[in-house]
C-alpha cells in the first residue's frame, strides 16, 4: 500500500501518468470562477468564454450570462444545487453586444386569472405534444395502486418526488415490518449472522434503496442527513473497514463522493483522498468499477474547477474503455441478451464520443476554442464507429448509442456559440432537437418489437445524459441563441414549450431559473412575479421536489 505522500504525489501527476491531452500553455479563463445565470447575471467585463456545468451525478439544464446593462440586480443565495458536468447542458458567453430589452405586454385575460388558471393556460397552449395527438399534460400521473414498495420507489424517482422517495426509503430500511430492515441493521452494526438469509435479489435491492436515499438527500440539499447516513456506513472502504463481499464498489464510490457535500473542508481533499484510496484498491481486472471511480474523480475535480486533473481522469477513462466494453460483453453472455462483438464495439465508440465531448467542453470552459474544436473532431471520428442497423437492435435499446449524432450536432452548436455565430448555432441546436425526436421514435418502435430489456452492465459510468436531458439542453441553448439575436419573445416561447412537453422531465431547477430571469427581462415587475409564481404552482402540482425556492427569484 502506498503511503499518503506517495498517493498525493501520484494524484498530482495524474496517478497513472500525466494527461495525454495537451492543455494550452496559458488557458484563458477570466474572472475568479465561471459566471452562470443562476450565480450572477453580470459577467466580468473581460469575459471571453464561460461555461457552467452542474456537478454531482444528478442531472441539469443550460445557463446563460447576460451583460450587466440589461441584467436585473443579482440576488444573494441564488445558486441551486450543482449537478454533474457530464449530464448537464451548457452555454457560452463571449464578448457580447448588449441585446435590447424587449418588454412584453401580458395578455389582458391574464389579469383576471388566478395562479392555477394561469398554470392551466400555460400548459394547454398548442405544442409538439398536441401536434402528436396527445392531450395537454395538466396533472402528473397517479401512483399505480398495484405497485410494490420497490416499484413505488422507482416511480417516485422517475417523477422527481424526492421527498416521497426519501420517506419510502427510510421506511424500507428501518421499519420493523420491512424484510430489508434486519439486513440493513446487520450491515451498519457490522454484526452479520451466518444464519441471516440474504438472497442475491435482496442484496441488489438493498444497495438500490440505500443509493436512492442518498441521492434524494442530495437532490433536496439535505446534506446534514446525508452525512449522518454515510457516517453510519462504517463498512465503507474509505473507513478502512471490511464490507461484506456483496457490497458493490459503486456504493463505496457514492459514500466517498458524498464527502464533497458533507465535509467541512471546502477544498474537497477528503473526498478526493477517499476516492483515490478506492481507485488503488479496486482489482486491476475489474475494469467496469475502475471506470466508475475514474468518472467520480473526474466529477469531483470538475466541481473543484481543477480542469487538468479532470482531463487526466477522462484520459484514463478512454484507456479503460476497450477492456471495460469487452468485460461487459463477457458478463452479458450469462444473460438472456448477450452482446455481439459488433454491438460491444459500437458501445465503445459511443462511450468514447461521450467522453471526448466532455473534454471538449472543458476546453471551451478554458476559452481554448481551437483545442475544443480538435477534441470535437475526435469525437466525430469516434461516432463513425457507431452504426445503428437492423442487425444491432440492441444498440437502439441502449440509452447512449442512438443519440450520438445529436451529441455531435450539439458540439457543433456550442462551438458556433462560443464564436458568436448565434444564427449558425441556432441551426445546429435545432438539428440536434430533430435528431433526438427521430431517435426517440426509433427507440419506441424497437421497444414495441421486442419487450425484453438489454441488461446494461456499464451503468453509465461516463455520465451519458439521458435523452430528456439532451433534449432540454438543446432547447435551452436554442433559447439562448434567440436571446442573443435580440429575440427575447422567442427565447421565452422556446423555454415555455419545453415545459409544456412534460414538466416532470423538463421543468428542472436550471430551466426554471433561466425562465424566471427571462421573465424579469421581458415584463414589468408585478407581471414577472406572477409568472414566476405560476412556475411555482406547476412545480408543486407535479411534485418536483428538487426545485429549490431560490430558483424562482421571488
Between CA 49 and CA 114, with CA 516 as vertex, the angle to 5 degrees is 170
Supply the pLDDT for residue 223: 94
pLDDT for 242-276, tens place per residue? 777 788 898 999 999 999 999 888 888 999 999 99
State yes or no: pLDDT of 41 exceeds 90.
Answer: no
Mean pLDDT of 1-23: 42
Confidence grade of residue 25 (pLDDT, cut at 50, 70, 90): very low
What's the whole-model pTM score? 0.76
pLDDT for 277-306, tens place per residue? 999 989 999 999 999 999 999 999 999 999
Supply the pLDDT for residue 51: 33
CATH code for the structural domain at 108-552: 1.25.40
Looking at the chain, the whole-number percentage of residues with pLDDT higher than 70 is 68
pLDDT for 330-369, tens place per residue? 776 665 566 667 777 777 888 899 899 999 999 998 999 9
Nearest C-alpha neighbor of 130 from the set 440, 437, 502: 502
Mean pLDDT of 18-34: 34
What is the rounded CA–CA span in Å between residue 527 and residue 233?
Answer: 49
CB 316, CB 294: distance < 8 Å: yes
Instruction: Please report, for residues 19, 71, 266, 359, 386, the alpha-carbon distance to residue 377 in angstroms, rounded to integers and kept in the order given.
Output: 19, 36, 36, 12, 15
State yes or no: pLDDT of 42 exceeds 80.
Answer: no
SS3 track for 394-416: HHHHCCCHHHHHHHHHHHHHHHH
Say how far residue 218 (Cα) sits from the centre of its chain.
13
Output DSSP code: residue 506. Answer: H
State yes or no: pLDDT of 161 exceeds 50.
Answer: yes
Confidence grade of residue 327 (pLDDT, cut at 50, 70, 90): confident
Domain extent listing, the chain? 108-552
What is the rounded CA–CA span in Å between residue 197 and residue 514?
Answer: 51
Mean pLDDT of 419-438: 91
Say which range, 53-57, 352-356, 482-486, has the weakest mean pLDDT: 53-57
- In the three-class reduction of DSSP (H, G, I as helix; E, B as strand; rest coil), residue 47 is classed as coil
Say which range, 102-106, 308-312, 462-466, 485-489, has the weakest mean pLDDT: 102-106
Amino acid at each position: 500500500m502506498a503511503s499518503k505522500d506517495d498517493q498525493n504525489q501520484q494524484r498530482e501527476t495524474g496517478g497513472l501518468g500525466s494527461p495525454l491531452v495537451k492543455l494550452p500553455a496559458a488557458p484563458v479563463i477570466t474572472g475568479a470562477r465561471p459566471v452562470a445565470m443562476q450565480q450572477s447575471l453580470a459577467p466580468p467585463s473581460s469575459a471571453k468564454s464561460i461555461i457552467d456545468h452542474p456537478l454531482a451525478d444528478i442531472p441539469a439544464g443550460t445557463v446563460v450570462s447576460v451583460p450587466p446593462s440589461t441584467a436585473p440586480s443579482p440576488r444573494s443565495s441564488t445558486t441551486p444545487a450543482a449537478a454533474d458536468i457530464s449530464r448537464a447542458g451548457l452555454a457560452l458567453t463571449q464578448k457580447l453586444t448588449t441585446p435590447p430589452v424587449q418588454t412584453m405586454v401580458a395578455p389582458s385575460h391574464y389579469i383576471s386569472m388566478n395562479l392555477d388558471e394561469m398554470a392551466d393556460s400555460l400548459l394547454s397552449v398548442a405544442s409538439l405534444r398536441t401536434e402528436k395527438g396527445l392531450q395537454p399534460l395538466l396533472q402528473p400521473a397517479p401512483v399505480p395502486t398495484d405497485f410494490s414498495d420497490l416499484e413505488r420507489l422507482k416511480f417516485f424517482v422517475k417523477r422527481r418526488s424526492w421527498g416521497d422517495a426519501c420517506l419510502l426509503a427510510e421506511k424500507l430500511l428501518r421499519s420493523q415490518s420491512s424484510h430489508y430492515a434486519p439486513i440493513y441493521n446487520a450491515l451498519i452494526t457490522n454484526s452479520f449472522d451466518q444464519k441471516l438469509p440474504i438472497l442475491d435479489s435482496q442484496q441488489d435491492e438493498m444497495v438500490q434503496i440505500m443509493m436512492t436515499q442518498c441521492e434524494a438527500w442530495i437532490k433536496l440539499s439535505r446534506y446534514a442527513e446525508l452525512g449522518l447516513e454515510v457516517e453510519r456506513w462504517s463498512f465503507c472502504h474509505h473507513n478502512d473497514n471490511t464490507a461484506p463481499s456483496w457490497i458493490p464498489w459503486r456504493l463505496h464510490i457514492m459514500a466517498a463522493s458524498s464527502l464533497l457535500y458533507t465535509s467541512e473542508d471546502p477544498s474537497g481533499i477528503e473526498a478526493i483522498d477517499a476516492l483515490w484510496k478506492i481507485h488503488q484498491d479496486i482489482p486491476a481486472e475489474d475494469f467496469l468499477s475502475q471506470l466508475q471511480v475514474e468518472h467520480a474523480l473526474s466529477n469531483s475535480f470538475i466541481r473543484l474547477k481543477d480542469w487538468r486533473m479532470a482531463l487526466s481522469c477522462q484520459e484514463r477513462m478512454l484507456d479503460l474503455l476497450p477492456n471495460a466494453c469487452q468485460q461487459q460483453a463477457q458478463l452479458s453472455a450469462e444473460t438472456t441478451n448477450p452482446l455481439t462483438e459488433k454491438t460491444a464495439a459500437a458501445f465503445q465508440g459511443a462511450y468514447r464520443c461521450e467522453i471526448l465531448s466532455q473534454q471538449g467542453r472543458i476546453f471551451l470552459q478554458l476559452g481554448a476554442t481551437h483545442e475544443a474544436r480538435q477534441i470535437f473532431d475526435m469525437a466525430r471520428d469516434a461516432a463513425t464507429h457507431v452504426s445503428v442497423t437492423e442487425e444491432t437492435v440492441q444498440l437502439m435499446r441502449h440509452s447512449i448509442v442512438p443519440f450520438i449524432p445529436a451529441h455531435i450536432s450539439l458540439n457543433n452548436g456550442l462551438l458556433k456559440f462560443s464564436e458568436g455565430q448565434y444564427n449558425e448555432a441556432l441551426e445546429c441546436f435545432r438539428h440536434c432537437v430533430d435528431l433526438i425526436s427521430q431517435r426517440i421514435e426509433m427507440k419506441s418502435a424497437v421497444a414495441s418489437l421486442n419487450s425484453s430489456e438489454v441488461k446494461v452492465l456499464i451503468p453509465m459510468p461516463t455520465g451519458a445524459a439521458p435523452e430528456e436531458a439532451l433534449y432540454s439542453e438543446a432547447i435551452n441553448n436554442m433559447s439562448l441563441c434567440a436571446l442573443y439575436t435580440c429575440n427575447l419573445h422567442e427565447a421565452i416561447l422556446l423555454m415555455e414549450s419545453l415545459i409544456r412537453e412534460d414538466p416532470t422531465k423538463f421543468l428542472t431547477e436550471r430551466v426554471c431559473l433561466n425562465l424566471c430571469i427571462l421573465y424579469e427581462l421581458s415584463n414589468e415587475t408585478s407581471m414577472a412575479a406572477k409568472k414566476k409564481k405560476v412556475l411555482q404552482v406547476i412545480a408543486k402540482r407535479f411534485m418536483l421536489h428538487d426545485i429549490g425556492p431560490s430558483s424562482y427569484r421571488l
